[in-house]
Amino acid sequence: MIADVDEAGLHVRVPRIMDVIRLGQDVDRNHAFAPVALERAYASVARFAEIIRLAGGVDRIHFVATSATRDASNREEFEDEVERLLGARPEVIPGTQEARLSFLGATSHLSAQQLRDKAPLLVVDLGGGSTEMVLGGTGEQASEVAQSISMNIGSVRMSERHLLSDPATAEQIAQAQDDIDGVLHDALRTVNLEKTRTLIGVSGTITTLSLAAQGEKVYSRELVDGVQVSIENAKKAADMILSLSTKDMESWPVIHPGRRDVIGGGVLVYSRLLTLVNALTRKAGHEITSYTASERGLLEGIILDAGRSMLASR
């Protein structure tokens, strides 16, 4: 994405272009980037560098790397090649910063008053290697984060660790659920989910699941951004996706080809998280029965944060 940032916010010049490259392939198992994953990454970076060159007038290029790069022993090789291709060295951010930027991006279209009216907001960003949960909107600054955590349960990590059949067996799914539930319950010591009044889900896994929950067969940003999805329907859609083989998914173009063999792990993470949020808020007397799917997230947060930093330094 190429955008201008001013006091009023973010103004897109070149809309988001996304390549699903699976950089985290085998990182959970080998703690290093796979050569084929690096090849895909470099091809994508070279393409983006050309788009930036043709767009012209870009004052700053910011490349952010997250969970997979944090865990990879050969990350320096990756960082060196990206810098050579793009002219900017990747900034490998910690999970806490990733959570803050995801919250900033996911709520960027809301005014300060809208944020306060919906607070506390829980933003969930479900990636390939990690999932961030961020509770905020209650501080002096409307966009301020109150509690956050980055958990090592993402779509690629969970699929590669547990869902080894195609489709996954009931035993594999149960083992993955136990793993996810353990991480989520540990996370409750850091993020008080029962305080949630508004739930926002971002990332390709969640928006894909949300479209499937509405019975859509083709991916559409317009159909999913800002839509309310019932937790019940999302969980049914997650179960349906888990029952499909990668071959079956070919008849569901809503699922990007690059996600087909790992989306099961992602929808299972989100389904278990939705179950937990629903149970805790029901017990607290303000049951959350739906969430808002959002196309805005980490990328928008990165741009806003970088732009505001540049403005402050002038």
Instruction: Report phi then psi at 276, rounded to 5.
Output: -70, -45
Instruction: Specify whether the CB–CB gap between 237 and 213 falls below 8 A.
Output: yes
The answer to whether residues 291 and 183 touch, using CB atoms and an 8 Å cutoff, is no
Contact 289, 230 (CB under 8 A): yes
Strand partners, 9: 6
Between the CA of residue 204 and those of 18, 126, 127, what are the distances in Å? Answer: 10, 8, 8
**How far apart are alpha carbons 42 and 3 in whole angstroms?**
23
| Tokens 């012209």 -> residue | 56
**49 class by beta-carbon count within 10 Å (0-12 exposed, 13-18 middle, 19+ buried):** middle
The residues pairing with 295 across neighbouring beta strands, listed in sequence order, are none
What pLDDT score does 61 carry? 94
| pLDDT, tens only, 210-239 | 999 999 989 998 899 999 999 999 999 999
Could you tell me the pLDDT band of residue 141, with boundaries at 50, 70 and 90?
low
How many other CB atoms are found less than 10 A from the CB of residue 17?
Answer: 11
The rounded distance, in Å, linking the Cα atoms of 33 and 35 is 6
Which range among 21-25, 112-116, 193-197, 251-255 has the greatest average pLDDT? Answer: 193-197
Is the CB of residue 239 less than 8 Å from the CB of residue 308? no
Helix (H, G, I), strand (E, B) or coil at 48: helix
Cis peptide, bond prior to residue 90, ω within 30 of zero: no
What is the tens place of the pLDDT at every residue in 262-298? 999 999 999 999 999 999 999 999 999 999 999 998 9
**Contact in structure between 182 and 152 (CB atoms under 8 Å):** no
Work out the percent of the chain whose per-residue pLDDT is above 90. 74
Pick the residue with more confidence: 115 or 272? 272
Instruction: For residue 38, give both structure tokens.
Output: 């690096």
* pLDDT tens digits, 181-218: 999 999 999 999 999 999 999 999 999 999 999 999 89
pTM of the model: 0.89
Pinpoint the alpha helices (H) of the chain. 27-30, 35-55, 67-71, 75-86, 95-106, 112-118, 155-161, 170-187, 204-213, 221-224, 231-243, 263-284, 298-312
Is residue 11 within 8 A of residue 3, CB to CB? The reply is: yes
Q: What is the pLDDT of residue 140?
A: 64
The helix/strand/coil state of 254 is: coil
Stretch (H or E) spanning 304: helix 298-312
Task: Return the pLDDT at 258.
Answer: 87
Residue 117 scores a pLDDT above 90: no
- Taking a C-beta distance cutoff of 8 angstroms, is the pair 12, 30 a contact? no
Return the minimum-mean-pLDDT range out of 13-17, 39-43, 189-193, 278-282: 13-17
pLDDT of 138 strictly over 80: no
**Beta strand extents in 218-271 (DSSP E only):** 228-230
- The stretch 16-33 carries a mean pLDDT of 88
Residue 180 has pLDDT above 70, yes or no: yes
Mean confidence (pLDDT) of the chain: 93
The reported pLDDT for the residue numbered 112 is 76
pLDDT of residue 139: 66
pLDDT in the model for residue 235:
98
Q: What pLDDT score was predicted for residue 89?
A: 96
> What percent of the chain is modeled with pLDDT above 70?
98
| Phi and psi torsions of 159, nearest 5° | -65, -45
Cross-strand partners of 91:
64
SS3 (DSSP) at 289: coil
Q: How confident is the model at residue 110 (pLDDT cuts 50, 70, 90)?
A: confident
